[in-house]
Structure 1
Amino acid sequence: MFPWGMFPFNEDIKKLTEQLNPSDVHSYVNDMMKNLMKNTPMDNMISQQTSNSTTTQPPNNGISAQVFETFDDVFVRVHLPENVTLSQLKIFHTSNQAIIENLQGDGSRQVITLPSLVKKKGASAQVKNQILEIKIPRSDDLQYTEITVSEKL
């Protein structure tokens, strides 16, 4: 037969649960939830989303870039200076970097590291309200190889 007496659901547990005050349990749970969620739940979700998926590159010559990724794409947003003309702007990318040339005049170059590998084709860029947004499709081909471990004698 099954040894039911070995579970902790014996008389000691029954006495302990009878001694618990529901208001004490309620206040304990409320205190724990307040400590867990210091702000409103929506604030927590927004702060987690921005801290996990958005990174701001350190300013390079006064220009900062906001980089974030979605499930399908990597986005790079750069605030354009007033004196830049779109015809001079050149944008390139490698599998893990975005390169913007002539952003602060002829010959200037800003290299932005991307958070994940991207595809060679399918990128697009557009400007709206002096913000350049570059959209590059993420690559799902990780190309990794398993390495066997052998014991050296």
Structure 2
Amino acid sequence: MDTRQKDVQVKTNRVEAWRESMHNQAQSVGNLLVEAFHYLALFGIGGITAWASVVAFLGMLEKGHITVDDILLLFIYLELGAMVGIYFKTNHMPVRFLIYVAITALTRLMISDISHHHRPDMGVVYVSGAILLLGLAVLVVRFASSRFPSVSTSRRADERDTEES
């Protein structure tokens, strides 16, 4: 290789290194912005959930009596708060908790409908069927997560061994 070819090769390597450096910096800034938005949104959701549960609780106290409907609403807030907490700790969204919230909301709907209308109709059967399907969905999700974990058990054992030593 002559001197000119070596100079071109060196310049090409510098440009490639600069491009790689720029790519890594852009990726780091992008990851930072996504995580910042992520945590900001989680704090917002957690704060709004806590605020809504306090407002609902104070409304119940103001009413002077609490119904099963009200208690189930508090359970919905509890599940939403637990989801946010679990997401903070594990960085994974527990799908089961979303299903639990849906089951609780449908149960609340059914109890409210029955207590206000006092007549059996097909709506009760439909809501009961939806609750049953969601219960089966929880069973499937739990079975799938135990049978096909996202982190293999051998990898978990390796991580445990590393932590213990």
Q: TM-score, normalised by structure 2?
A: 0.27
Q: Which has the higher helix share?
A: 2
Structure number with higher strand proportion: 1
State TM-score, norm by structure 1: 0.28
